C-alpha cells in the first residue's frame, strides 16, 4: 500500500512540541527541590524527554533521539527513586536540555552537530556508572540471534509446534490470526493436536484448548516466524525447528545474512532528509500557535461582516433617500465589525509575555551562581499579552537588563547582611498593560545606582559639562548614554562591551522607551514602555502646509503654544526655547522636509515636545489634527528608506501621510546642526 | 469503516498516527491521555486501541487495565506504542491485558501492517 504522508509537516510539529517539552523540562528542573523531588514534576520532566526520544526516532532525527535516550535513562532512575536528585544531576540535565535545544535548532541547517552531545554523553555515562553503548541493545540481540543459527545445510522449511495457554484469548491474540500470518510467509500444513478439555460441561468459550503442529515450507528466516509469535511468547509453548535439505551443496550463509538485514530496520532515510529540509524553510517563515477560541471569535466576526455586507448590498440596486437612516445604521455596524475584526486579528499575533519570561529562572540561577549572589526571582503578570514580533525582539534587551541588575544592582549576601537587608535579593520582572502600551519592569532591591560615580564618569567622558547641575533622574538615565560603563573591571556578565545604550537603541527600534528610577540602598526599577504591536500605531496627525504627518503618540510629551520672544537664537539656525527648567531645540519640520508651511513664525504654530533616546525637542508644526490609530505601511518596501521617516499610512480620505521616526528625526536634526548640542550645555 | 482509538500525549505522534491510518482507510479517534481515552471508550466502541505508555493523568498500562474491565473492550485488540525495545515494558503491557505492541520508531508501513494484523 502506497501511503503518501507529508512527514515534513508533522516533523515541524515535532520540533515545536520538543521545544515546548524542553521548556517544561527546564522549568521543572529549576523547580525541583534537591533531595525531595516532587513525583509529578519528575514525571513530567521524564515524559518530555521520553517524547523527544520517541518522536526524534520516528521522524528520523536519530542523533537527537539517541542523546535523549541517555537523558531519559538518568531521569528514569531519578523518577523511580533509584537515584537521589542532586545538584550535579540537575545541572547535567540542564546542560543536556540546552544541548538538545541546540541540536533541534541546528536541524534547520540540515546537519546536527553532535560534538556537545558526545561530550555530555560521557558525563551522563559517568553518572549512570556504566558505558553508554552507542548501539541500541536490540541490534546486538538480533545479531546474537542470527549467529545462533548454526551453520549447516540450507533451510527449506520449519516445524512449528504451537500450544497456546488457555488464557491467550483474553489478551485478544487470536491463534487463527497467527496461523493466517504464517500462511503469508509460505505454504503451511496445519495439524491440530491435543484438543484437551472439550467436555461440554467444562467448556469455556473464552479459553483456548487447542494446539497445533505446523510445517512451514520455504527458506524463511527464523526472525520472520519469531516476529509473528512475538506478542504471544508468554502465552504459549512454542518450538520452532528447521528442516534442512541435507543434499544441497551450498552453505547457508545468505539466509543468515538476510535475516539480520530484515530485523534491523534502518530509519526511513529519504523521509528524514526531506523532513529536515522543509523544517528549515518553514522555520524561517515562523509559525504561531493560536488558541482555538481566538479563531472561533474571528470566524464569528467574519460571519457578522458577511451579514452587514449583505444588508448594505441591498442599497446597491434600489436606493431612495427614505432609507438613509438604515444605510447609516449599516455603516455604523460595518465600522464596528471592522474594528472588532481588526482587534481579533491583532489578538492572533498576541502572545503572553511568559514566552519571554520563561528563560529567566534559568538565567538568574546560573548568573546568581556565577556571581555568588542569592536571588529570588519573582515573575508578575506573565499572562500579559503582546505582539509576537515585539516579544521576540524584547528578549535580548531584557536579558541585558536582568544581567545588569544581578551584576551591578544586587549586592553579595555579605554586603546585604551588613546593610541590614535579608541575605537573598529580590529581582522582580513585572509586566502589565497601560493604555495602548505594555510596560515591562525589571525591579531589584539592590544598592541602587551610585549617582556620584555616574556623574563623575559622565563628566570624565565629557557627556556632562563640568558645572552642569542635573536632577537625580537625569543622572540615573545617563547610564543609557553611549560608551558609558561605571564598572572599571569588565566582568564577563554585563560588561561585555554591549552597553545600556544598545538596550535603549533596541527598545527604541521597537518604538519603545526605557527609563530608570533608583534610590541608593533601596534598589532600582527599569521601566520599558512598548507599543503593543508594530503593525498599528497610535498617532497624532499634524499638518505642515498642505502635508500631513503622523507623530507616534508614545514619543509626544506635550504640545505647547509659545511665542518668538521666548526663543533664543544662539548661533545661526539653532534656536532654543525654555520649557520650565529645561532648554529645548526648535525643530522646524518644514525646514527638515523642505515643504511650504503656512507660517514660519513660532507664534502661529504649535510646538510638539517629543522625546527620544533622552533628547527632547520641540517640533514646530502648523496645526494639530486628530489622534488616530494608523496601520503602518512600510516605506522601504514600497519606495525606499527615508531618514526621519519610519513609514507611511493611508488616511481616511485616501491620501498618504508619512509617519515620523522621532529618534531618527532628532538625530538628523543634530547632524544638520552639529553645534546645537554643545550649545545646549552652554546655555544650561 | 473500521475505527482506531489512538492515545498519545505527543501531538506530533498523534498527528502522524492519524494521518497514516486515515490514509489507510481507518476512522481515527484521538485522545491526549489515558483518562480522555477511557472517557471516550465508556460510550463508544472502536475496533482497535493504540496507546502510548508514558502519559499524564492515566498512563497506557492503566488505560489497558481499565479498558479490559469494560465489557465492550474485553475482546478489542489493544496495542501499546513503546520506545522500550526491552522485554520488561512489553511484558508489563501484556500483563495488563495488551494484545501486542508497536515499537517506536515505526514507519507508516509498519503501523498499517500491525494494525491490519489485529483487525481482520
pLDDT at A527: 92
**Domain membership flag for residue B29:** yes
Helix (H, G, I), strand (E, B) or coil at A2: coil
Q: How far is the alpha carbon of A76 from chain B, nearest alpha carbon, in Å?
A: 11
Q: How confident is the model at residue A156 (pLDDT cuts 50, 70, 90)?
A: confident
Q: Are A488 and A593 in contact (CB under 8 A)?
A: no
pLDDT at A141: 44
One domain for residues A345 and A432: no
Those residues whose C-beta lies under 8 Å from the C-beta of residue A332, and which sit 6 or more positions away, are none
Q: What is the pLDDT of residues B20-46, one digit of tens each?
A: 888 888 889 999 989 999 989 888 888
Q: What percent of chain A has pLDDT over 90?
A: 7
Q: How confident is the model at residue A540 (pLDDT cuts 50, 70, 90)?
A: very high
**Domain membership flag for residue A267:** no
One domain for residues A631 and A557: yes
**Closest CA relative to residue A207, chosen from A169, A237, A162, A235:** A169
Any A CB within 8 A of B98 CB: yes
Say whether pLDDT at A166 is over 50. yes
Say whether pLDDT at A254 is over 60. no
Any A CB within 8 A of B106 CB: yes
pLDDT at B7: 93
CATH code for position A413: 3.30.565.10
pLDDT at A551: 93
Say whether pLDDT at B57 is over 70. yes
Q: How confident is the model at residue A198 (pLDDT cuts 50, 70, 90)?
A: low
Residue of chain B with shortest Cα separation from A184: B117
* Mean predicted confidence (pLDDT) in A249-257: 47
Residue/partner pairs of A576-582 with CB below 8 Å, 24 or more apart: A576/A679, A576/A680, A576/A683, A577/A602, A577/A607, A577/A618, A579/A609, A579/A618, A582/A616, A582/A684
Interface of A with B (CB under 8 A): 1, 3-7, 10-11, 13-14, 17, 43-44, 46-47, 50-51, 53-55, 57-60, 65, 136-138, 169-174, 177, 180-181, 230-231, 234-235, 265, 267-268, 271
* Mean predicted confidence (pLDDT) in B77-82: 87
Q: Which domain holds residue B89?
A: 3-106
Nearest to B16 among A10, A51, A231 (CB): A10
One domain for residues A553 and A476: no
Q: How confident is the model at residue A498 (pLDDT cuts 50, 70, 90)?
A: low
Say whether pLDDT at A609 is over 90. yes
Any A CB within 8 A of B99 CB: yes
**Domain membership flag for residue A121:** yes
* Mean predicted confidence (pLDDT) in A151-164: 77
Q: How far is the alpha carbon of B120 from chain A, nearest alpha carbon, in Å?
A: 8
Are B104 and A4 inside 8 Å of each other by CB? no
Nearest to B12 among A6, A13, A65 (CB): A13
**Domain membership flag for residue A263:** no
Look at A90-99, A133-142, B70-79 and tell me which has the smallest mean pLDDT.
A133-142
Q: Are A48 and B12 in contact (CB under 8 A)?
A: no
* Mean predicted confidence (pLDDT) in A49-75: 84
Helix (H, G, I), strand (E, B) or coil at A96: helix
**Cell numbers found for residue A331:** 455603516
**Cell numbers found for residue A282:** 518553514
Q: What is the pLDDT of residues A432-456, one digit of tens each?
A: 887 667 899 999 998 888 888 888 8
* Mean predicted confidence (pLDDT) in A481-503: 58
pLDDT at A248: 60
Look at A28-37, A76-85, A197-206, B67-76 and tell me which has the smallest mean pLDDT.
A197-206
Highest mean pLDDT among A188-192, A418-422, A648-652: A418-422
Higher pLDDT, A140 or A219: A219
Helix (H, G, I), strand (E, B) or coil at A406: helix
Q: How confident is the model at residue A152 (pLDDT cuts 50, 70, 90)?
A: low
Count other C-beta atoms under 10 Å from residue A202's C-beta: 9
Count other C-beta atoms under 10 Å from residue A446's C-beta: 27
Look at A259-273, A612-626, B86-100 and tell me which has the smallest mean pLDDT.
A259-273
Domain end among A483, A498, A531: A531
* Torsion sign over Cα A553, A555, A560, A565: negative
**Domain membership flag for residue A91:** yes
**Domain membership flag for residue B119:** no
**Look-up: residue for cell 539480520?**
A260
pLDDT at A196: 59
Residues in B closer than 8 angstroms to A172, CB to CB, are 75-78, 99, 118
Higher pLDDT, A37 or A275: A37
* Mean predicted confidence (pLDDT) in B82-100: 78
Say whether pLDDT at A684 is over 60. no
Residues in A closer than 8 angstroms to B69, CB to CB, are none
Q: Which domain holds residue A323?
A: 292-351
Higher pLDDT, A623 or A121: A623
CATH code for position A207: 3.30.70.1110
* Dihedral Cα A49, A50, A54, A56, nearest 10 deg: 0
One domain for residues A298 and A358: no
At A463, give phi and psi (nearest 5°).
-75, -35
How many domains would you assign to chain A?
5
One domain for residues A407 and A454: yes
Domain end among A476, A510, A531: A531
Q: What is the pLDDT of residues A510-525, one digit of tens each?
A: 878 888 888 888 899 9
* Mean predicted confidence (pLDDT) in A390-396: 85
Query: A442: phi > 0 → left, psi -120 to 50 → alpha, else beta; which?
Result: beta
* Mean predicted confidence (pLDDT) in A393-402: 88
Nearest to B106 among A1, A44, A58 (CB): A58
**Closest CA relative to residue A616, chosen from A662, A574, A658, A567:** A662
Distance from the Cα of residue A257 to its chain's centroid = 48
* Mean predicted confidence (pLDDT) in A323-352: 85
**Domain membership flag for residue A480:** yes
pTM of the model: 0.52
pLDDT at A271: 40
pLDDT at A138: 43
One domain for residues A575 and A655: yes
One domain for residues A616 and A602: yes
The span from the CA of A308 to the CA of A302, in Å, is 10
How many domains would you assign to chain B?
1
Q: How far is the alpha carbon of A321 from chain B, nearest alpha carbon, in Å?
A: 57
Please give the mean pLDDT across all residues of chain A: 78
* Residue of A25, A43, A49, A50 best to disrupt the B interface, most CBs of B under 10 A: A50
Say whether pLDDT at A575 is over 80. yes
At A150, give phi and psi (nearest 5°).
-65, 135
Say whether pLDDT at A628 is over 70. yes
Q: How confident is the model at residue A145 (pLDDT cuts 50, 70, 90)?
A: very low
Look at A68-82, A132-146, A621-635 and tell me which has the smallest mean pLDDT.
A132-146
pLDDT at A496: 45
One domain for residues A548 and A604: yes
Q: What is the pLDDT of residues A276-287, one digit of tens each?
A: 333 333 334 567
Say whether pLDDT at A212 is over 50. yes
One domain for residues A321 and A417: no
Any A CB within 8 A of B104 CB: yes
At A141, give phi and psi (nearest 5°).
-55, -50
Say whether pLDDT at A682 is over 50. no
The span from the CA of B27 to the CA of B57, in Å, is 25
Highest mean pLDDT among A345-349, A350-354, A545-549, A575-579: A545-549
Any A CB within 8 A of B65 CB: no
pLDDT at A257: 42
Strand partners, B28: B4
The span from the CA of A303 to the CA of A601, in Å, is 54
CATH code for position A553: 2.40.50.180
Helix (H, G, I), strand (E, B) or coil at A244: strand
Q: In what order do the strands lie in the sheet with A513-519?
A: A375-380, A425-434, A437-444, A523-531, A513-519
Say whether pLDDT at A348 is over 90. no
**Domain membership flag for residue A671:** yes
Q: What is the pLDDT of residues A662-673, one digit of tens each?
A: 888 888 888 887
Q: How confident is the model at residue A10 (pLDDT cuts 50, 70, 90)?
A: confident
Residues in B closer than 8 angstroms to A50, CB to CB, are 54, 83
**Domain membership flag for residue B31:** yes
**Domain membership flag for residue A1:** no
* Mean predicted confidence (pLDDT) in B98-120: 82
The span from the CA of B76 to the CA of B119, in Å, is 9
0.90 surpassed by complex ipTM:
no
Q: Are B94 and A234 in contact (CB under 8 A)?
A: yes
One domain for residues A380 and A512: yes
CATH code for position B89: 3.40.50.2300
Cβ-count burial B72-109 (b if 16+ within 10 Å, e if not)? ebeebbbbbbbbbeeeebbebbbebbbbbbbbbbbbbe
- 3-state secondary structure labels for all residues of A258-314: HHHHHHCCCCCHHHHHHHHHHHHHHHHHCCCCCCHHHHHHHHHHHHHHHHHHHHHHH
**Domain membership flag for residue B111:** no
One domain for residues A296 and A185: no
Nearest to B10 among A17, A231, A271 (CB): A17
Look at A128-132, A527-531, A617-621, A665-669 and tell me which has the smallest mean pLDDT.
A128-132
* Mean predicted confidence (pLDDT) in A3-17: 76
* Mean predicted confidence (pLDDT) in A284-302: 78
Helix (H, G, I), strand (E, B) or coil at A150: coil
**Domain membership flag for residue A144:** no
* Mean predicted confidence (pLDDT) in A331-338: 88
**Cell numbers found for residue B84:** 522500550
Half-sphere exposure of A86 (CA within 13 A, CB side): 9
Q: How confident is the model at residue A429 (pLDDT cuts 50, 70, 90)?
A: very high
* Mean predicted confidence (pLDDT) in A76-92: 80
Are B109 and A1 inside 8 Å of each other by CB? yes
pLDDT at A571: 60
Are A177 and B117 inside 8 Å of each other by CB? yes
Say whether pLDDT at A133 is over 70. no
One domain for residues A653 and A522: no
* Residue of B10, B95, B116, B120 best to disrupt the A interface, most CBs of A under 10 A: B10
At A583, give phi and psi (nearest 5°).
-100, 130
At A38, give phi and psi (nearest 5°).
-70, 130
pLDDT at A509: 79
In chain A, what is the straight-line distance between the N-terminal and C-terminal CA atoms, in Å? Answer: 84
Amino acid at each position: 500500500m502506497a501511503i503518501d504522508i507529508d512527514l515534513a509537516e508533522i516533523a515541524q510539529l515535532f520540533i515545536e512540541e520538543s521545544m515546548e517539552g524542553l521548556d517544561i523540562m527546564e522549568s521543572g528542573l529549576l523547580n525541583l527541590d534537591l533531595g525531595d523531588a516532587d513525583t509529578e514534576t519528575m514525571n513530567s520532566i521524564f515524559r518530555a524527554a521520553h517524547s523527544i526520544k520517541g518522536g526524534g526516532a520516528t521522524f528520523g532525527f536519530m542523533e537527537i533521539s539517541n542523546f535523549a535516550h541517555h537523558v531519559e535513562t538518568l531521569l528514569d532512575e531519578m523518577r523511580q527513586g533509584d537515584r537521589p536528585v542532586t545538584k550535579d544531576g540537575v545541572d547535567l540535565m540542564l546542560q543536556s536540555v540546552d544541548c538538545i535545544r541546540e541540536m533541534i535548532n541546528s536541524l534547520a541547517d540540515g546537519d546536527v552537530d553532535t560534538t556537545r552531545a558526545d561530550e555530555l554523553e560521557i558525563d551522563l555515562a559517568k553518572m549512570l556508572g556504566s558505558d553508554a553503548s552507542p548501539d541500541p541493545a536490540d541490534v546486538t540481540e538480533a545479531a546474537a540471534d542470527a549467529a545462533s543459527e548454526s551453520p549447516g545445510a540450507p533451510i527449506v522449511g520449519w516445524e512449528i509446534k504451537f500450544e497456546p495457554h488457555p488464557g491467550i484469548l483474553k489478551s485478544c491474540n487470536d491463534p487463527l490470526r497467527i496461523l493466517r500470518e504464517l500462511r503469508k510467509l509460505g505454504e503451511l500444513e496445519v495439524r491440530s493436536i491435543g484438543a484437551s478439555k472439550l467436555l461440554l460441561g467444562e467448556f469455556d468459550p473464552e479459553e483456548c484448548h487447542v494446539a497445533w503442529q505446523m510445517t512451514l515450507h520455504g527458506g524463511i528466516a527464523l526472525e520472520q516466524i519469531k516476529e509473528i509469535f512475538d506478542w504471544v511468547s508468554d502465552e504459549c509453548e512454542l518450538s520452532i525447528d528447521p528442516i534442512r535439505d541435507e543434499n544441497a551443496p551450498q552453505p547457508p550463509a545468505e539466509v543468515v545474512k538476510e535475516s539480520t538485514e530484515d530485523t534491523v530496520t534502518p530509519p526511513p532515510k529519504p523521509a528524514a532528509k526531506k523532513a529536515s529540509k522543509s523544517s528549515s524553510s518553514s522555520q524561517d517563515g515562523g509559525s504561531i500557535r493560536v488558541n482555538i477560541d481566538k479563531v472561533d471569535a474571528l470566524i464569528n466576526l467574519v460571519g457578522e461582516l458577511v451579514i452587514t455586507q449583505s444588508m448594505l448590498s441591498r442599497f446597491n440596486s434600489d436606493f431612495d433617500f427614505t432609507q438613509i437612516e438604515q444605510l447609516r445604521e449599516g455603516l455604523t455596524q460595518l465600522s464596528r465589525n471592522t474594528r472588532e475584526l481588526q482587534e481579533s486579528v491583532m489578538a492572533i499575533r498576541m502572545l503572553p509575555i511568559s514566552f519571554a519570561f520563561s528563560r529567566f529562572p534559568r538565567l538568574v540561577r546560573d548568573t546568581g551562581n556565577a556571581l555568588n549572589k542569592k536571588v529570588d526571582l519573582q515573575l508578575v503578570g506573565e499572562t500579559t499579552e503582546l505582539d509576537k514580533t515585539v516579544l521576540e525582539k524584547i528578549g535580548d534587551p531584557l536579558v541585558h537588563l536582568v544581567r545588569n541588575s544581578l551584576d551591578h544592582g544586587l549586592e553579595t549576601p555579605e554586603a546585604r547582611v551588613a546593610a541590614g537587608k535579608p541575605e537573598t535579593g529580590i529581582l522582580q520582572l513585572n509586566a502589565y498593560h497601560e493604555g495602548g502600551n505594555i510596560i515591562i519592569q525589571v525591579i531589584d532591591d539592590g544598592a541602587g545606582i551610585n549617582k556620584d560615580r555616574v556623574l563623575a564618569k559622565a563628566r570624565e567622558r565629557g557627556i556632562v559639562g563640568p558645572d552642569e547641575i542635573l536632577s537625580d533622574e537625569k543622572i540615573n538615565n545617563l547610564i543609557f548614554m553611549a560608551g558609558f560603563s561605571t564598572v572599571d573591571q569588565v566582568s564577563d556578565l554585563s560588561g561585555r562591551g554591549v552597553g545600556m545604550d544598545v538596550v535603549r537603541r533596541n527598545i527604541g527600534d521597537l518604538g519603545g522607551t526605557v527609563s530608570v528610577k533608583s534610590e541608593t540602598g533601596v534598589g532600582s526599577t527599569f521601566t520599558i514602555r512598548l507599543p503593543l504591536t508594530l503593525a498599528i500605531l497610535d498617532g497624532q496627525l499634524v499638518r505642515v502646509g498642505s502635508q500631513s504627518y503622523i507623530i507616534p503618540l508614545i514619543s509626544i510629551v506635550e504640545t505647547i503654544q509659545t511665542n518668538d520672544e521666548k526663543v533664543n537664537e544662539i548661533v545661526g539656525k539653532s534656536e532654543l526655547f525654555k520649557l520650565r527648567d529645561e532648554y529645548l531645540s526648535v525643530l522646524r519640520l518644514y525646514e527638515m522636509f523642505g515643504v511650504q508651511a503656512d507660517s514660519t513664525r513660532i507664534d502661529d504654530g504649535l510646538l510638539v515636545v517629543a522625546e527620544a533616546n533622552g533628547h527632547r525637542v520641540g517640533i514646530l508644526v502648523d496645526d494639530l489634527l486628530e489622534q488616530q490609530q494608523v496601520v503602518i505601511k512600510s516605506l522601504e518596501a514600497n519606495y525606499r528608506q527615508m531618514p526621519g521617516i519610519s513609514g507611511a499610512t493611508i488616511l481616511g480620505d485616501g491620501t498618504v501621510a508619512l509617519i515620523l521616526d522621532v529618534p531618527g528625526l532628532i538625530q538628523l536634526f543634530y547632524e544638520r546642526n552639529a553645534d546645537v548640542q554643545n550649545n545646549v550645555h552652554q546655555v544650561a | 469503516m473500521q475505527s482506531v482509538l489512538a492515545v498519545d500525549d505527543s501531538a506530533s505522534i498523534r498527528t502522524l498516527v492519524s494521518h497514516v491510518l486515515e490514509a489507510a482507510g481507518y476512522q481515527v479517534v484521538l485522545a491526549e491521555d489515558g483518562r480522555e481515552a477511557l472517557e471516550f471508550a465508556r460510550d463508544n466502541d472502536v475496533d482497535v486501541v493504540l496507546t502510548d505508555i508514558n502519559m499524564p493523568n492515566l498512563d497506557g498500562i492503566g488505560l489497558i487495565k481499565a479498558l479490559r474491565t469494560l465489557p465492550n473492550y474485553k475482546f478489542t485488540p489493544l496495542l501499546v506504542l513503546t520506545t522500550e525495545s526491552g522485554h520488561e515494558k512489553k511484558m508489563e503491557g501484556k500483563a495488563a491485558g495488551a494484545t501486542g505492541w508497536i515499537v517506536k520508531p515505526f514507519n507508516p508501513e509498519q503501523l498499517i501492517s500491525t494494525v491490519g494484523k489485529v483487525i481482520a
